[in-house]
Structure 1
């Protein structure tokens, strides 16, 4: 059953709230909200955090924090901002679901897996719905 009722409070300064219902709707609104703030923040959600590195004896290693440049610090902040935005939108139950995640990407992926399932689960649901629809048409 679908609903035309608008979900949640709206504000240009507040992320859309999520309490575990209507995940697909919330996911799209949240994506637009984060992209509207800064595309680099969305990049941290979609691709993971920026980790400053440098070469030591021809080996790439994580750069110590005290050696980060101003630009590197700004890039690291995108993940932290994304985590803040995501957690600000979540109910208590949803917050605890992602509270142990280290990155915004991990939070986003955990919510997606929890509320949408894996690709295989989605494919199985789609096949079941298609089959039920075909049976309905035959009747």
Structure 2
């Protein structure tokens, strides 16, 4: 999603992740939102960017996801709901990381599994970890793949001996 949004406009990504700055004014001792008629050109431009970010998110989502977030008024609010839906709160996210780290640590090539199947399974684990904020270096991943290979391999049949 980050690539999709930033390829259109990097400022939209900042609005999605940080939120727009709602134009405000001082009213006595309180700070209150300005009405749209009171916005200056810069404030209008920022709010237009928020609307563009919302539109971009709408276009990227299926109908079910759209229904989940259609009442949101800010791109950041949409993004926060999608994060919770797909990643969960911090506790759920940490549990997912723990499960994937465990899978990484115990990773071994399965009997009758081809190298491409093994690598696809390994990539799913490491991509899942990276999407949750946990990543390994290329060196660590290479060592893990090499250690997970069988000691004897029949290259003609691609089967563990």
User: Counterpart of 2:98?
Assistant: 127
**Residues paired across the two proteins, number:** 108
SS at match of 2:14: helix
Given the two structures, how large is their TM-score scaled by the length of structure 2? 0.59
* Aligned-residue RMSD, C-alpha: 2.0
User: Counterpart of 1:105?
Assistant: 76
Instruction: Using the TM superposition, give the Cα deviation of residue 135 of structure 1 relative to its aligned residue in structure 2, in angstroms.
Output: 5.8
User: Counterpart of 1:14?
Assistant: none
Choose from 88, 105, 117 the match for 2:88: 117
1:76-91, aligned counterparts within 5 Å? 76-91=47-62
Distance 1:84 1:114 in 2: 19
User: Counterpart of 1:94?
Assistant: 65
Instruction: Using the TM superposition, give the Cα deviation of residue 128 of structure 1 relative to its aligned residue in structure 2, in angstroms.
Output: 3.0
Distance 1:64 1:76 in 2: 12
Given the two structures, how large is their TM-score scaled by the length of structure 1? 0.67
Choose from 30, 33, 55 the match for 2:26: 55
Runs of 4+ aligned structure 1 residues displaced above 6 Å come to none
Residues 64 and 116 (structure 1 numbering): CA distance in 2 closer, same or farther, change over 3 Å? same
| Structure 2 unaligned residues grouped into runs of 5+ | 109-161
| Structure 1 unaligned residues grouped into runs of 5+ | 1-29
User: Counterpart of 2:39?
Assistant: 68
User: Counterpart of 1:26?
Assistant: none
Which of these two proteins has the greater Rg computed from alpha carbons? 2
